[in-house]
Amino acid sequence: MTIFSKKQTEVKQMIDTYLDKVDSCIRQFRDSMMRFLVNGCTREFIWDVEKAHKFESEADDLRRKIQMTLYGKALLPDSRGDLLTLLEFYDRIPSAAEDALFLTRILCMDIPEELLEDLEKLVEINVDAYRLIRECMNALFENPHETLYQTRGVDAKESESDRLERSIVERVFKSDMATGKMMLLKELVQTIGEISNRAENTADRISIVAIKRQI
Amino acid sequence: MWQIISAVFLGWSLGANHTANVFGTAVASRMIRFWTAAIVCAVFVLLGALLQGQAGMATYRAMAGVSLNAAFLVALCSALTITLMTYLKFPVSVSQAVVGSLVSIGLLEGNFHWEVLVKVVICWIGTPLGGMIFAIILYFLVGKFMNGLNLNLFQHDRYLRWCLMVVGGYGAYALGANNVANVTGTFTGPGMLTPFHACLIGGLSIGFGVLTYGKKVIMTVGKEIVRLDGYTAFIVILAEAITVHIYAGIGVPVSTSQAVVGGVMGIGLVKGVSTVNLKRLYQIFYAWIGTPAISFTITFLLYLMFSRLGLL
């Protein structure tokens, strides 16, 4: 197997590094959002956003490197195409986290006290959705028979996030805050929820990759 | 024995055109370098020709024993038919061209054995069918085995690469065993080549075709097969190799391309999609009728001309 596996081992190692980078980005997202929800738009929070951005762009660079290695015929065209598409989908998750952080930083708004708990919960659900998709990726590379079972968990988290998003938005619009603020809060909630949406899309891709390899 | 030159030309053309059927996927997808594939292919073609190529030669001898000059004519006319048909972009099969030419000479010389032709024609029809049936059976059998292995994406890819490499070697072996008779089969007999020498010269000329002109064909024809995914391409090539190998044992040279089309149809049936259109079926049908007919006519005309000139 050695004549074929050298490049594959290289790609696998790069993917592992990439996934670790995305893990760091999402961890940073969670810590930053929690800091924001507790302390507001502080200097530390802005510094945290920069850190998350750094992780995201490092992950992006790694993904491009993987792409180039894959184009260098590391895998069969079919596997190459599947892996490239999958990474493209996966990469949208840290982008969503970064978008949410940037929006939070730009808005720098005061969050009404009664929404804080739900927003924290929303962040946790979306981070959980990411954790599950990460497990799906591990399953795909280590125990493919488990993959389809694992992807169901991501769907469940996405639905949970959707329900909470709707409930928060409903409460925002029932409140007496200014319409502009309502709209901005709605956007912030939806941007955070985008993480689990993208995790669900990635889960669908992972299922396709796994099913295609079951004959 | 200068007459063998036409057989060498035919063998070269066969090698150049048929490499794609066994290594098309691997090379066109750039997973194996052309030269690696070409060397493996040439070596296995020669091995197949030397170890199992003699049965087909016996069939051609039984169909119509021909003289050395007539054998030259058979190989020349078959090569001309293939060149002409390829130029006109018509589908063509070397086995069917050789048989058309042999029928022509056998009838003109009055020593043709129809019962052998019947056996050959039945095998022609059985070739795409064999490819199709084997593809269906193998798709499920190999699939069940691979599913049981629970391979991840990288392992799956690695196994498939090896499978394609191994099945390419086997396909080349079957090609040599089956098709060498087309090249030098008519040159065997009293006062001509021994079967071993015929297999050696035939195998070498096919291998020469693989090495010198295979790349161009492999990149065009191979891309057609590569449209299948790695697993189904492997199944198609394995089905083709088994089918052609069986006919090598029976001693009837058949078309590897038609076995491939049969295999692709089998995959289409299993997956419930249309992989082969009506044009493809027409092409096979045309090859069964048109190729021998054209080869027959060219041989007939050249035979009369050569006879008038006192060369036969």
Q: What is the pLDDT of residues A35-78, one digit of tens each?
A: 999 999 999 999 999 999 999 999 999 999 999 888 776 688 88
Higher pLDDT, A72 or A81: A81
Size of the A and B interface in Cβ pairs below 8 Å = 60
Total Cβ atoms within 10 A of residue B43: 17
Q: How far apart are CA A27 and CA A25, in angstroms?
A: 5
The two three-digit tokens of residue B146, written as one number? 């691979």
Which residues, including other chains, have CB under 8 Å from residue A57's CB and lie 6 or more apart?
A: none
Tell me what pLDDT residue B299 has: 96
Closest CA in chain A for residue B154: A8
Higher pLDDT, B152 or A199: A199
Total Cβ atoms within 10 A of residue A162: 15
Q: Choose, out of A75, A141, A209, the residue to mutate when testing the contact with B (most B CBs < 10 Å).
A: A75
Angle at B210 between CA B207 and CA B212, to 5 degrees: 105
Q: Choose, out of B136, B141, B142, B153, the residue to mutate when testing the contact with A (most A CBs < 10 Å).
A: B153
Nearest to A202 by CA among A153, A146, A145: A153
Closest CA in chain B for residue A211: B147
Say if residues A156 and A200 touch (Cβ distance below 8 Å): no
Tell me what pLDDT residue B289 has: 85
Using a CB-CB cut-off of 8 Å, the residues of chain B touching A10 are: none
Q: How far apart are CA A196 and CA B239, in angstroms?
A: 45
Nearest to A10 by CA among A60, A85, A97, A68: A68
Closest partner residue to B158 (CB to CB) among A8, A73, A143 is A8
Block mean pLDDT (10 aa), chain B, length 312: 90 88 78 87 96 94 86 93 78 88 93 91 94 96 91 88 92 96 90 91 95 77 65 92 96 91 88 70 77 94 91 76
Tell me, which fold does domain A2-212 have in CATH? Methane Monooxygenase Hydroxylase; Chain G, domain 1 (1.20.58)
- Mean pLDDT estimate for chain A: 92
Mean pLDDT of the A175-202 span = 95
User: For chain A, what are the domain ranges?
Assistant: 2-212
Q: What's the pLDDT band for A1 if we cut at 50, 70, 90?
A: very low
The two three-digit tokens of residue B293, written as one number? 């007919």
Inter-chain contact B147–A214, Cβ cutoff 8 Å?
yes
Closest partner residue to B230 (CB to CB) among A8, A76, A142 is A76
- Cα pseudo-dihedral A99, A100, A101, A107, rounded to 10: 100
Question: Which residue stretches of chain B are H helix?
Answer: 4-28, 34-52, 54-63, 68-87, 94-109, 114-149, 153-184, 195-226, 230-250, 256-271, 278-308
DSSP per residue over B166-207, as a string?
A: HHHHHHHHHHHHHHHHHHHGGGBSTTSB-HHHHHHHHHHHHH
pLDDT in tens, B257-310: 889 888 988 988 888 876 666 776 777 777 778 889 999 999 999 999 999 988
Instruction: Convert B59-95 to b/e letters by CB count within 10 Å (16 or more is b).
Output: bbbebbbbbbebbbbbbbbbbbbbeebeeeeebbbbb
pTM of the predicted model as reported, rounded to 2 decimal places: 0.84
Q: Which residues of chain B are at the A interface, by a Cβ-Cβ cutoff of 8 Å?
A: 29-31, 139-140, 142-144, 146-147, 150-154, 156-158, 160-162, 226, 229-231
DSSP per residue over chain A, as a string?
A: -HHHHHHHHHHHHHHHHHHHHHHHHHHHHHHHHHHHHHH-S-HHHHHHHHHHHHHHHHHHHHHHHHHHHIIIIIS-HHHHHHHHHHHHHHHHHHHHHHHHHHHHHHH-PPPPHHHHHHHHHHHHHHHHHHHHHHHHHHHHHH-HHHHHHHHHHHHHHHHHHHHHHHHHHHHHHHS-S-HHHHHHHHHHHHHHHHHHHHHHHHHHHHHHHHHHT--
Q: How far apart are CA B217 and CA B227, in angstroms?
A: 16
Q: Which domain holds residue B162?
A: 4-308
Q: How many domains does chain B have?
A: 1
pLDDT in tens, A7-44: 788 889 999 999 999 999 999 999 999 999 999 999 99
Give A5 to chain B, closest Cα distance, Å. 7
Inter-chain contact B152–A4, Cβ cutoff 8 Å?
no
